[in-house]
Amino acid sequence: MLTPKARGPLSADLFDALHGSRPTTGWDVASLDEDDLQLSLWALYELAYRGFDDVDAALEWDPGLLGLRASLESVVEARWRSRAEAAEVQEPFADGLMSFIEADDGASLAGFAQRKATREQVLELLRWRSIYHLKEADPTSFTLPRLPVRAQAALAALQYDEYGGGDPARLHRHLFATGMSDAGLRPDEGAYVDEAPAIVLEQNNALSMFGLHRRLRGASLGHLAAFEATSSLPSRRMAAGLRRVGLPESVAAYYDEHVEADAVHEQLAVRLICGTLVEDEPETRGDVVLGAFTCLDLENRFATWALERWAA
């Protein structure tokens, strides 16, 4: 993957720095356009994954770039915490968290895809979703070594499924890439980042930020719980919509895989991962709620944006 197109002065300066044509210090983050902010943060996080073909791998730990990342993180974390202030989860915690997630009634892109979306709209949605699905479980894997034993064992079991149970052909991100290719889309990671809206980049940045910070391990797992508990039925609807518009069976098969898997994973994520984490480390409770709320909130914002765009 090559570095994407800049979306403003910060990302332009950042990509110059990544290419070695300017210093990695001296950043101006006083007033940033949302696209510029989210793309810059996304690119900085990408250095911790598989990186860019045109960027020196040593820059992953460059102090100036890490300082810039921290500055941008402070902006988005403050935003997410402000939005989640009123979120409440009743006791007992695992039951309350499940009820909190189930009470979400945000806009549904899967429902629209099942009933009304055109083939081109579905393909556009797949391109946007590819920014996440071609990483799939990777952000959460950063959290594994930071957990007490009960939550760690349960998360390892869930992640083993996400990574195909040891079978490369069943790796979830590989399944999605196969479907993308069969549908005539580029299957390589980051292929469509230039057309991804800021809200999609923000969704991915939340996953990366929560996973990469030990202090936010609770938020990482709360996000996971909300995602898993709200993906089984939408996956069924997506599969139906993909078949309705005549896309290859391999595309729908990716979502078929998640109908049954996520029905199991939701209990694992809510009770054996988040529930035991809060029992063993009560100080993580607030961040678990933060992560769950942020997952649901950003998905609702993305769905609302996409539906309004298509309606227009």
Is a pLDDT exceeding 80 seen at residue 86?
yes
**74 and 103 belong to one structural domain:** no
Give the list of residues 6+ apart from residue 99 with CB closer than 8 angstroms, or none. Answer: 89, 90
Q: Are residues 56 and 177 in the same domain?
A: no
Number of domains in the chain: 2
- Kindly state whether residues 73 and 96 are assigned to the same domain: no
Angle formed by the axes of helices 285-311 and 198-212, to 10°?
A: 160
Report pLDDT for 11.
Answer: 97
Residue 4 domain flag: no
**Model confidence pLDDT, tens digit, residues 19-68:** 999 999 999 998 899 999 999 999 999 999 999 999 999 999 999 999 99
Domain's final residue, options 63, 82, 101? 82
- Give the pLDDT confidence score for residue 262 in this predicted structure: 62
pLDDT tens by residue, 163-187:
999 999 999 999 999 999 999 999 9
Question: What pLDDT, on a 0 to 100 scale, did the predictor assign at position 31?
Answer: 80
Taken in order 299, 225, 96, 285, the sign of the CA dihedral is negative
Which of 42, 62, 82 is the last residue in one of the domains?
82
pLDDT at 149 > cutoff 90: yes
- pTM value? 0.96
Domain endpoint, select from 42, 59, 82: 82
Distance CA 256, CA 305 (A): 26
pLDDT on residue 232:
86
Assigned domain for 164 exists = yes
Q: Please choose, from the candidates 262, 226, 255, 284, the residue with its C-alpha nearest in 3D space to the C-alpha of residue 101.
A: 226
- Give the span between the Cα atoms of 41 and 212, in whole angstroms: 13
Per-residue burial over 41-75, b if 16 or more Cβ lie within 10 Å, else e, is: bbbbbbbbbebbeebeeebeebeebeebbeebbee
CB atoms within 10 A of CB 88: 9
Tell me: pLDDT of 292 over 80: yes
User: Residue 261: its pLDDT value, please?
Assistant: 67
Q: Could you tell me if 98 and 200 lie in one domain?
A: yes
64 with 102, same domain: the answer is no
CATH of the domain at 269: 1.20.910.10
**Tell me, what's the pLDDT at 10?**
97
The amino acid occupying position 59 is: L
pLDDT at 78: 98
Whether residues 195 and 282 fall in one domain: yes
In a domain, 1, yes or no: no
Q: What is the mean pLDDT of residues 279-306?
A: 98
Residue tagged 């309004």 (tokens): 308
Per residue in 190-244, pLDDT (tens digit) is 999 999 999 999 999 999 999 999 999 999 999 999 999 998 889 999 999 999 9
Could you tell me the residue range of the domain that residue 157 belongs to?
Answer: 90-311
In this structure, are 20 and 115 located in the same domain? no
pLDDT digits (tens, 9 = 90+) for 93-146: 999 999 999 999 989 999 999 999 999 999 999 999 999 999 989 999 999 999
111 is a domain residue: yes
129 inside domain: yes
The pLDDT of residue 301 is: 98
Helices within the chain (DSSP H only): 9-18, 34-46, 63-83, 93-102, 109-115, 119-133, 138-141, 149-162, 172-182, 198-212, 217-229, 232-244, 249-267, 276-280, 285-311
Tell me whether residue 291 is in a domain.
yes
Confidence of residue 245 (pLDDT cuts 50, 70, 90): very high
pLDDT at 155: 97
Note if the bond before 92 is cis, omega within 30 degrees.
yes
Q: Are residues 63 and 138 in the same domain?
A: no
| Average pLDDT for 71-97 | 97
- Asked whether residue 3 is assigned to any structural domain, the reply reads no
SS3 call for 136:
coil
Same domain, 236 and 170: yes
Is residue 78 domain-shared with residue 226, that is, in the same domain?
no
111, 186: one domain: yes
Q: Domain check: are 24 and 102 in the same one? A: no
Residue 2 lies in a domain: no
